[in-house]
Amino acid sequence: MSGVRCQMTDMASDIGHRALDFIKMNIAVIKYNSGNVQSVLYALERLGADAELTDDPEKILNADKVIFPGQGEASTAMTYLKARKLDQLIREIKQPFLGVCLGLQLLCEHSEENNTECLGIFPVKVKRFIPENSQEFKVPHIGWNELENLAENVLLKDLPDPKFLYYVHSYYAELSDATIASTHYIHDFTAILHRDNYWAIQAHPEKSSTVGEKLLSNFLSIK
């Protein structure tokens, strides 16, 4: 137990030191009328980062980091993005980019949710959970699941144990070559994706205690 406390203390100290760098950072959180955005802004604030919620293309392109969070429905979200040409902008971004929850699903190529063509950053399909046993498995999936099969990746560096994250979702991304961590509910599915300057997390790091905080801190530290 003392070892776990030491690990958490060291991580808190590390995050505290990095907060000084995060204060100077220009972070854009993409606005597209999705839910749960405020909790992401609060989580970034706790890390010492000053983020702006915006759908202004110039502000997004000039940001040091871009975060694409949210809860909602895929086709409605894509309609909003297309109307403001944010779909094109997201495909052109060169700086580190992080999708969260619905943000992960929209970065994939297609979602079964209302048969929606998405952004296609990740050549991955998003499917709806179909419970094998409705008594044992409920949809949406709500709860804590442990990360498994972690790849060597800057986003996953020094995550504390146990590596549990909090999920609220009815749709999931299939396992693919872009999967850098998986988890299990009904069956295995993608927990975290990475390709080039794009990362995406299906869970809610802003609601996932020290593991989620470390994931956000790692993302903000990417050069």
Number of domains in the chain: 1
With a cut of 90, say whether residue 36 has pLDDT above it. no
Q: What is the DSSP string of 64-92?
A: SEEEE--BS-HHHHHHHHHHTTHHHHHHH
Bridge pairing between strands 97-100 and 116-117: unpaired
pTM (2 d.p.): 0.90
- Give the catalytic positions in this structure: 101, 204, 206
- Rounded-to-integer distance, Cα 66 and Cα 52, Å: 10
pLDDT at residue 6 is higher than 70: no
Q: Rounded CA gap, 155 and 167, in Å? A: 18
pLDDT at 12 over 60: no
Question: pLDDT per residue over 41-94, tens digit each?
Answer: 999 999 999 899 999 999 999 999 999 998 899 999 999 999 999 999 999 999
pLDDT for residue 75: 97
**pLDDT band per the 50, 70, 90 thresholds, residue 132:** confident
User: Do the bridges between strand 171-173 and strand 122-128 make them parallel or antiparallel, or are there none, so unpaired?
Assistant: antiparallel
With cut-offs at 50, 70 and 90, classify the pLDDT of residue 173. Answer: very high
Which pLDDT does position 70 carry in this prediction?
Answer: 86
Q: Among 6-10, 13-17, 214-218, which range has the highest average pLDDT? A: 214-218
- Look up the CATH number of the domain holding residue 170: 3.40.50.880
Top-confidence residue, 221 or 12: 221
Q: Which residue has the tokens 């409705």?
A: 134
Predicted local confidence at residue 76, as pLDDT:
95
Query: What is the pLDDT, as a whole number, of residue 175?
Result: 98
Domain range for 19: 2-221
List C-alpha distances in Å: 135 to 60, 131, 132, 143: 44, 9, 9, 16
Q: Choose between 117 and 16: higher pLDDT.
A: 117
Position 20 pLDDT exceeds 90: no
